[in-house]
Amino acid sequence: MLAMGKSHGSLRGIEAKIEYHPVFEELGALYESWKRSAVNWMQTEKLSDSVVEKRLMKQFNIQWAWADSIATEARTCFSQLKTAKTNNIIKLELQIKTKTTAAQKLITKLEKTLKLATKKGFPHLQARNKFFHQLLGLKSKIQKIKCLKRKLKQLKNTERLHICFGSQKLFKAQHNLAENGYKTQEEWSVDWRKKRSGRFFCVGKSQPGGGTMLKVFPLQEYGLYQLEIQLPRPLQDKYGQKIKLEFSVSDRSGRYRTTDLDYALNSLKPITISIFRREHKQDNWYIHLSTYVQEIPVVHTRKNGCIGIDFNADSISVTYVKWDGNIEYLEELPYQWKNQTTGQRQATMRNIVAEIVKLADFFECAIAIESLDFTKKKSIARSEESKVYNEMLSNLATGMFRETLESRCRRFGVELIKVNPAFTSVIGMINYMAKYGLNSGTAAALVIGRRALKLSEKIPKCLLRPEDVNKHDWSHWRRVASFIKLHRIRRTQLFQWRKALEGILTHKLWAEHQLSVQVHIETGEPRNHLHSPMANV
């Protein structure tokens, strides 16, 4: 698929509403049924695509082009199932490792508390209650680890890959009809059949019309096109060999969709077409065309600076950094993810991406994002991050955001830079949050933008140990980040980071008179100012 993309150009998606025809219902139901059969054959009998195509043609009396499209989608579905299983195994292993480490730390802490309490007793009732509460928490952690290990073992030992064509939620609803708003099993069956149909698909080919069974031709009126569907043989007696329907494509939001489609048709580019029903839009039917257009050269680069992007719990921070590393513009784009459907969250994401690329186009600069593995972050989040951040990660359409951002950057000729996410939040809070009056999100976005410009971030000298002078900057930041996490220092405290850090690390009077005295990050002991080269800083 990648090779195809390189040979044909840049991939584009074009979607439009199409006039309804009764054949959509029957063809959608048949197509999805044939696809389920193909996936089952690939899994149970381990058949190749060519063998599946031949069986589809023979068993269901359909043309080769329909069989080819069904086999292509079935193979993609089967590959995704195998990838999902691998990812789930990795996710469970990470969760087990993280929770085991957390449990071991808690055991060590409880052992110390118990040893001290055995000698001197608990200092007060609250300390005793806290100990027993943590003991119950440890028991819960151990039970969760055992449960995860059982799931991991079961997943590894199961060869068959499971998939629910339709909706798991709707499938489970049949066991509790009244609670899910159904009076009878037949009423549920109607929705179930509807959910498992309502879509058909055809792979594009480099020929007039862009395909075989589904072809598109331009009409005389600008933006108006005709879809020609060559029906499978089982439907031809009822509806005829071909049907022709009209749809219109319009340009919007800087997307020249009509021009793109005309270019693909005139250049005989393959056009992969999908026809589907949108239930949340009054069951209207839509057409989605995937084709290729000419590559747009990158014109907005880091030479003019960079826009840094950082994810927060309820917003996305955007900061424009000039070529010299100084902040020029900042904005918080609110992101409502609670109580939203997947479609609503994705729509919000697309709007945010459009705003960000519009800014990059205005400043004629590049865009920088963190090269985060959110799959890994989601798997360990429950043990590592705050509850609000965990909820944000679980709901955030990060994969879709990145794909949309990459696509739109290519469309507008904007350079997209992925940077290492190491310590961006800590660096931003200590170096820039108080200095520029930023919040933690925009401060991190500033660091991301500067990192894309290949600018280094030095640690304040009062936190630099003499023995660490020749080490890499990230070694210093790792030490500070570990200390902040260990002592659970809140982000708001880092507006006065000298006080926040040294208030924990040094004696009270020493901190009041020498706020910038150098200290041991690991031990919290003040350095001897007579021997420290940073004593006068």
Cα atoms in the Cβ-side hemisphere of radius 13 Å centred on 523: 7
Evaluate whether residue 220 is within a structural domain: no
Please give the tally of structural domains in the chain: 2
pLDDT at 116: 85
Tens-digit pLDDT profile for residues 132-189: 898 898 999 999 999 999 999 999 998 888 888 888 889 999 998 999 889 999 999 9
Query: Would you state the structure tokens that stand for residue 323, as one six-digit string?
Result: 């070529």
The pLDDT assigned to 389 comes to: 55
Round to whole Å and give the CA distance between 174 and 178.
9
Cα separation, 300 vs 35, in Å, equals 44
Q: Tell me the angle at which helices 23-44 and 64-120 cross, rounded to the nearest 10 degrees.
A: 60
Q: Which H or E run includes 156?
A: helix 125-157
Q: Are residues 380 and 405 in the same domain?
A: yes
345 and 475: one domain? no
Does residue 140 or residue 464 have the better pLDDT? 140
Residue 201: Cβ-neighbour burial (10 angstroms; 0-12, 13-18, 19+): buried
Residue 519 is assigned to a structural domain of this protein: yes
Nearest to 491 by CA among 337, 421, 386: 386
Question: In this predicted structure, which of 260-269, 300-309, 352-361, 468-477 has the lowest mean pLDDT?
Answer: 468-477
pTM score: 0.71
User: Helix or strand or coil: residue 63?
Assistant: coil
The confidence band for 27, taking pLDDT boundaries of 50, 70 and 90, is very high
Residue 128's pLDDT band, with cuts at 50, 70 and 90, is confident
Distance CA 216, CA 279 (A): 25
Mean pLDDT of 37-56: 95
Continuous segment of H or E residues that includes residue 344: helix 342-363
Task: Please identify, among 423, 452, 481, the residue that sits at the C-terminal boundary of a domain.
Answer: 452
pLDDT digits (tens, 9 = 90+) for 188-238: 999 999 999 989 999 999 999 999 999 999 998 899 999 999 999 999 999
Q: Kindly state whether residues 429 and 306 are assigned to the same domain.
A: yes
Judge whether 117 lies within some domain: no
What are 395's two structure tokens? Answer: 């709901």
Looking at residue 300, its pLDDT comes to 92
Same domain for 311 and 402, yes or no, is yes
My answer on whether 426 and 471 are in the same domain is no
Split at pLDDT 50, 70, 90, the class of 308 is very high
* Helices assigned H by DSSP within 364-456: 374-384, 387-395, 398-412, 424-428, 434-436, 440-452
358 domain residue, yes or no: yes
Do residues 481 and 432 both lie within one domain?
no
In the sheet that 10-17 helps form, which strands lie side by side, from edge to edge? 10-17, 284-293, 272-278, 199-202
Q: Does residue 51 form part of some domain?
A: no
Name the amino acid, one letter, at 493: Q
CA distance 209 to 443: 51
Q: What is the pLDDT of residue 414?
A: 94
Give the pLDDT of residue 358.
93
pLDDT at 390: 57
> By three-state DSSP, how is residue 37 classified?
helix
What are 318-336's pLDDT values in tens digits? 999 999 999 999 999 988 7
Q: Which residue has the higher pLDDT, 522 or 165?
A: 165
Tokens of 267: 């250049």
| Same domain as 440, residue 469 | no
Q: What is the mean pLDDT of residues 264-285?
A: 92
d(CA 346, CA 356): 15
Q: Which of 441, 495, 438 is nearest to 315 (CA)?
A: 441
Q: In terms of residue numbers, what domain contains 529?
A: 463-537
Q: Which residue has the tokens 């019309």?
A: 209
Beta strands 306-311 and 315-321, pairing class: antiparallel
Phi, psi of 252 (to 5 degrees): -165, 155
More confident residue, 49 or 522: 49
CA distance 293 to 237: 38
pLDDT tens digits, 401-418: 888 899 889 888 999 999
* Residue count of the chain: 537
Contact 5, 266 (CB under 8 A): no
Checking phi first, is residue 14 left (phi over 0); if not, alpha (psi -120 to 50) or beta?
A: beta
Residues 530 and 415 in one domain: no
pLDDT grade for 373, boundaries at 50, 70 and 90: low
Q: In this structure, is residue 237 part of a structural domain?
A: no
Q: What is the reported pLDDT for 496?
A: 80
pLDDT, position 296: 83
DSSP annotation of 300 = B
For helices 23-44 and 49-60, the axis angle rounded to 10 degrees is 130
- 14 to each of 60, 108, 231, 309, 318, how far by Cα in Å? 31, 58, 23, 27, 28
Q: List, in order, residues 6 or more apart from 512 with CB less than 8 Å away.
A: none
Question: Which two three-digit tokens encode residue 495?
Answer: 């507006």
Sequence-separated (6 or more) residues with CB below 8 Å from residue 449: 305, 306, 307, 308, 319, 320, 321, 368
Both 415 and 358 in one domain: the answer is yes
Q: Return the SS3 of 177.
A: coil
pLDDT at 93: 94
| Cβ count near 58 (within 10 Å) | 10
Provide the token pair at 69. 């499209």
Round the average pLDDT of the chain to a whole number and report it. Answer: 84
> pLDDT digits over 420-431, tens only?
988 999 999 999
Residue that is last in its domain, among 452, 478, 511: 452
Residue 364 belongs to domain with CATH number: 3.30.420.10
pLDDT at residue number 2: 36
Per the DSSP assignment, residues forming a β-bridge with 202 are 273
Q: For position 52, what pLDDT does the model report?
A: 96
Domain shared by 423 and 325, yes or no: yes
Residue 253, pLDDT score: 67
Shared domain check, 340 and 418: yes
Check residues 512 and 186 and name the one with the higher pLDDT: 186
Q: Is residue 173 part of a domain?
A: no
Same domain, 310 and 377: yes
Higher pLDDT, 1 or 351: 351
Q: Tell me whether residue 15 is in a domain.
A: no
SS3 507: coil
Q: CA gyration radius for the chain? A: 30
Task: Answer for the pair 268, 237: CB distance below 8 angstroms, yes or no.
Answer: no
Of 331, 301, 377, 388, the C-alpha closest to 98 is 377
pLDDT exceeds cutoff 70 at 119: yes
Q: Which of 452, 481, 507 is the last residue of a domain?
A: 452
